[in-house]
Amino acid sequence: MPIHLLPTRRDFLSGLALGGVSTVLGCGNAEQPVAVGEPTPSALPSGYIALLSDTHINADPVVAENGGPKNNMTKNLRVAILDILKQPEMPRAVVVLGDLAHKDGQPGDYQQFLSLIRPLREFGVPFHLAMGNHDDRAQFLQVLKPEDPGLGLVDDRYIGVVNVAGIRLVILDSLDKPKQVTGNLREPQRAWLAKTLDAEPQSSTVVLVHHNPKNASENAWQCLWDTEELLAILRPRKQVKALVFGHSHRWDLRRDGDLHFVNLPAVGYPFAADQPLGWCRFEPTVDGATIELHRVDGGLDKDLEPVDLKWRAT
Ligand SMILES: Nc1ncnc2c1ncn2[C@@H]1O[C@@H]2COP(=O)(O)O[C@H]2[C@H]1O
């Protein structure tokens, strides 16, 4: 599974939901993945999902990347969480698409990350966390202290399915080796993905992964190494409507044929001065989704216009 932080009935009964940490790492197995969230993927669209990526939280809350005052990652995540709390309704789920930690996944980084997301968790909002190249699975699990850390569904990868807001999310894990920029899914995970998609050919699905697909304008070693293999799986499976990724700290909506590519901006800090920082409100509709960037960097165009994505036919 990806790393799920879910409120449990026991937490609510005991009052633990107000501050408790329930961690669900494993249910199902590679042969029979069990989705978390709603019971069926075909539920009608309702509500929205908050999408965040590249929070890059440092244990020290005053650390700012490159010393830039706008690049204080703790402040930027705090603004994002407060902005989500200010929305008229709570999100049905939050996905954080990797690089939760600043550089190399120190335990203090994850402790700080967990304390920053706690206000939203106190409202019972489930979190689904993917790993990025600046994360360290073992360190994060040590901080989370799940009762049964188990293993990832495939090898050491924490991957899985979440049915929420009328859409099926398939969350992948492209962290190949800590401290290595290049991401890689590798064959067992790709085989799992094909099988998981084939099990629900009619369910509108969004695939999410930290690393961005290779792009002519970027160095291949900075991207997802097995991009072509991934796209060979996604392109013909028309139930897959969009590929969502982060890593490049760039906000961009584009298409690969009739498949949408959603490049999430970073929350923590930008690489390029003209890039926004923020989170995205992703609201599935009957035949697509509306995506709206909410900036956390105080840019003048604070909330950019929402964009309607129309899904390809299944
Ligand atoms: N302007 C940029 N500044 C720094 N890194 C960049 C830039 N553009 C692309 N990258 C690459 O994108 C990668 C994203 O993950 P990393 O921070 O590990 O390493 C980054 C670099 O390899």
Specify the pLDDT at position 1: 54
Q: What is the pLDDT of residue 6?
A: 79
184 token code pair:
């890689």
| Closest Cα to atom 7 of ligand 1 | 271
Q: Residue 128 has what pLDDT?
A: 93
Nearest CA among 311, 179, 305 for reference residue 251: 305
Q: What is the pLDDT of residues 167-176, one digit of tens each?
A: 999 999 999 9
Q: How far apart are CA 122 and CA 134, in angstroms?
A: 27
Question: CA-CA distances (angstroms) from residue 41 to 100, 194, 289, 312?
Answer: 27, 17, 15, 18
Check residue 152 and give its pLDDT. 65
**Substitution candidate for ligand 1 out of 222, 225, 248 with most atoms within 8 A of CB:** 222
Report the nearest-CA residue for atom 11 of ligand 1: 222
Reduced to 3 states, what is the DSSP secondary structure of residue 308?
strand
Tell me which residue has its CA closest to atom 1 in ligand 1.
271
Find, among 76, 75, 130, the residue nearest to 244 by Cα: 130
Contact criterion met (CB below 8 Å) for 6 and 37:
no
ipTM over 0.90 threshold: yes
Residue owning tokens 């992964």: 209
Distance CA 137, CA 130 (A): 10
Q: How far apart are CA 17 and CA 222, in angstroms?
A: 39
Point out the ligand 1 atom lying closest to the alpha carbon of residue 272: 1
Asked if residues 26 and 10 have their Cβ atoms less than 8 Å apart, the reply is: no
**Ligand 1 centroid, distance to 115 Cα (angstroms):** 27
Q: What is the pLDDT of residue 151?
A: 57
Q: Whose CA is nearest to atom 6 of ligand 1?
A: 271
Which of 58, 97, 181, 215 maximizes ligand 1 atoms within 8 Å of its Cβ, making it the mutation to test the pocket? 181
- For residues 173 and 228, give the distance between their C-alpha atoms in angstroms, rounded to a whole number: 16
Ligand 1 geometric centre to CA of 286 (Å): 36
Nearest ligand 1 atom to the CA of 221 is 22
- Cα 76 to Cα 68, 140, 160, 295: the distances in Å are 12, 21, 28, 9
pLDDT at 32: 47
The pLDDT value given to residue 67: 82
Mutation to probe ligand 1, out of 249, 251, 267 (largest number of atoms < 8 A from CB):
249
Distance between CA atoms of 279 and 240, rounded to whole angstroms? 22
| Contact partners, residue 225, CB within 8 Å, separation at least 6 | 176, 182, 183, 184
CA 212, CA 261: separation in Å to the nearest integer? 9
Per-residue DSSP letter, 314: -
Return left, alpha or beta for 155; rule: phi > 0 is left, psi -120 to 50 is alpha, else beta.
Answer: left
- Say how many Å lie between the CA of residue 148 and the centre of ligand 1: 35
pLDDT of amino acid 125: 94
pLDDT < 50 positions in the chain:
9-22, 26-28, 30-32
Give per-residue burial for 177-203: e unless 16+ CB within 10 Å, then b: ebeeebbbbbeebbebbeebbeebeeb
**Would the CB of 44 count as within 6 Å of ligand 1?**
no
∠ CA 140-144-146, nearest 5°, is: 120
Domains and CATH numbers, the chain: 46-310 (3.60.21.10)
Q: Is the CB of 181 under 6 A from ligand 1?
A: yes
Instruction: Name the nearest CA neighbour of 97 among 138, 57, 52, 58.
Output: 52
> Quick check: CB of 247 below 6 Å from ligand 1?
yes
- The contacts of residue 13 (CB under 8 Å, 6+ apart) are none
d(CA 295, CA 276): 6
Cβ(182) – ligand 1 distance below 6 Å: no
* 83-94 burial code (b ≥16 CB/10 A, e <16): bbeeeeebbbbb
Centroid of ligand 1 to alpha carbon of 47 (angstroms): 33
Whole-model pTM: value is 0.92
Q: 273 has which bridge partners?
A: none
Pocket test for ligand 1, best of 179, 211, 248 (most atoms within 8 A of CB): 248
Residue 49: closest CA among 178, 197, 166: 166
